[in-house]
Amino acid sequence: MSGYDAIVERYRGVTGEAPEGLWYAPGRVNLIGEHTDYNDGFVLPFALERKAVVAAGRRVDGRLRLLSLELDEDVDLALSDLAPGQEGWSAYLAGVVWALREAGHDVGGATLVLTSDVPLGAGLSSSAAIECAVVAAYCDLYGLDIAPIDRAKLARVAENAYVGAPTGLLDQAASTLCQAEAGLFLDCRSLETELVPLPMAEQGYEMLVLDTKTPHSHVDGEYGTRRATCEEAARLLGVPALRDVTDLDAALAKLDDETMRRRVRHVVTEDERVLRALEVGRSGDLAGLAPLLTASHASMRDDYEITVPTVDLAVETALSAGALGARMTGGGFGGCIIALTHAGEADGIGRAIARSFAEAGYATPEWFTAVPAQGAGRLA
């Protein structure tokens, strides 16, 4: 039985009926633009073929019944009891329903059966995929006319206010707005977007995504600390956000704290790298992305200090094994790297990294080749 048949069966098992539909939303890799979103800056992610899928149908009894295929768990909540602070996987679903109701949408209960093949805690937006799939389901089930960017914002409210992770808009925007065969350039202040064609196969490239198996989380303190330092730096510099720093040297000269200076340098140079990546995408020759990826990694390692030894070893090994450019992707402190390789070489580079991990005594990594996929929608 496929995963989707299994969620339909599970839905039938608890309600006695077929679901009203199946909705999905993908995980993502961020090609470039890390920790720039909450600084009002620029990001350039693309969606993965791996996705969260919900079998869903409305309920009239004011309850939310949430089931997870992989975790084999069953949560039954009254809509009137939904409140921030809920823990565990079900908070990502319940948080969306709470956010919709808080925003004034007149939505009732539902039964939602979830399956997902986005690896958890790997920095590939497994949580945003769940949230955005539930937003897509609820919009169709309850006839809500909500623009895609506003759907992403609602999903982010679930993540920030209900789950309690102080993230930016990157993940939910990617999961909702991405299109197949393209990256999504997003200006996180104006919310303007541009689709950036990524014809990797056509140009003889592949994108390796390798999970270091070092788990990462947004709910712990490091993410919030980075964010708070950026906000304090912007305050000291007298700008609304670090995106507004136009003269990096002058800004650094105004700051006394060395850690803060490094954080600012990362954010400002990373924004520049995203804009250069956008130019590369517009020019149509993807080779120009490679040095930007590697420079982004160095900046995350040395200035933002969000990489860890497994991630650094994976990037170093990828580059010495022939990758054209490589970087950690996502929030950091573990998770995945991406590497731009010549076509046919990604798997061998994955194996080279696995060997170097074995020598270093690290867990065995997992990897796949990513193709830019379509954002959230209805499956059936």
Binding-site sequence positions for ATP: 68, 121-127
Q: Is 171 in the site for ligand GAF (CB under 6 A)?
A: yes
Alpha-helix runs per DSSP H in the chain = 3-15, 90-102, 126-141, 148-157, 170-177, 221-237, 248-254, 258-283, 289-302, 309-320, 346-360
CA quadruple 79, 219, 151, 22: dihedral sign: negative
Q: Is 330 in the site for ligand GAF (CB under 6 A)?
A: yes
Q: Which of 37, 211, 303, 345 binds ligand GAF (CB under 6 A)?
A: 37
Q: Which of residues 198-257 bind ligand GAF (CB under 6 A)?
A: 218
Q: d(Cα 295, Cα 287) in Å, to the nearest integer?
A: 14
Contact region with ligand GAF (CB under 6 A), list: 28-36, 63-71, 100-108, 237-245: 28-36
Contact indicator for 214, 309 with CB cutoff of 8 Å: no
Contact region with ligand GAF (CB under 6 A), list: 27-35, 136-144, 196-204, 336-344: 27-35
- Does the annotation count 140 as an active-site position? no
Q: Which is nearer to ligand GAF, 34 or 206 (CB)?
A: 34
Q: Output the smallest distance, CB 205 to ligand GAF, in A.
A: 23
Q: Which is nearer to ligand GAF, 19 or 33 (CB)?
A: 33
Q: Output the smallest distance, CB 314 to ligand GAF, in A.
A: 18
Q: Output the smallest distance, CB 269 to ligand GAF, in A.
A: 14
Q: Output the smallest distance, CB 329 to ligand GAF, in A.
A: 8
How far, CA to CA in Å, does 377 sit from each of 41, 43, 151, 363? 27, 22, 12, 35
Cα 265 versus chain centre, distance: 23
Q: Which is nearer to ligand GAF, 198 or 300 (CB)?
A: 300
Q: Is 27 in the site for ligand GAF (CB under 6 A)?
A: no
Q: Is 372 in the site for ligand GAF (CB under 6 A)?
A: no
A 10 A CB-CB count for 202 gives: 12
Q: Which of 76, 145, 150, 171 is catalytic?
A: 171
Q: Which residues are annotated as a binding site?
A: 34-37, 68, 121-127, 159, 223
Specify the amino acid at residue 221: G
Contact indicator for 299, 4 with CB cutoff of 8 Å: no
Q: d(Cα 273, Cα 289) in Å, to the nearest integer?
A: 9
Cα 321 versus chain centre, distance: 27
Q: d(Cα 314, Cα 360) in Å, to the nearest integer?
A: 11
Q: Is 35 in the site for ligand GAF (CB under 6 A)?
A: yes
Burial 69-80 (b: 16+ CB within 10 A, else e): beeeeebebebe
Q: Which of 331, 334, 365, 375 binds ligand GAF (CB under 6 A)?
A: 331
In this structure, what are the phi and psi dihedrals at residue 65, rounded to the nearest 5 degrees?
A: -110, 120
Q: Is 90 in the site for ligand GAF (CB under 6 A)?
A: no
**Quick check: helix, strand or coil at residue 66?**
strand
Q: Which of 23, 24, 38, 92 binds ligand GAF (CB under 6 A)?
A: 38
Q: Which of residues 111-170 bind ligand GAF (CB under 6 A)?
A: 167-168, 170
Q: Which is nearer to ligand GAF, 132 or 352 (CB)?
A: 132
Q: Which is nearer to ligand GAF, 24 or 333 (CB)?
A: 333
Q: Which residues are annotated as a binding site for substrate?
A: 34-37, 223
Chain residues that interact with ligand GAF, rule: CB under 6 A: 30, 34-35, 37-38, 167-168, 170-171, 218, 330-331
Just list the catalytic residues: 171
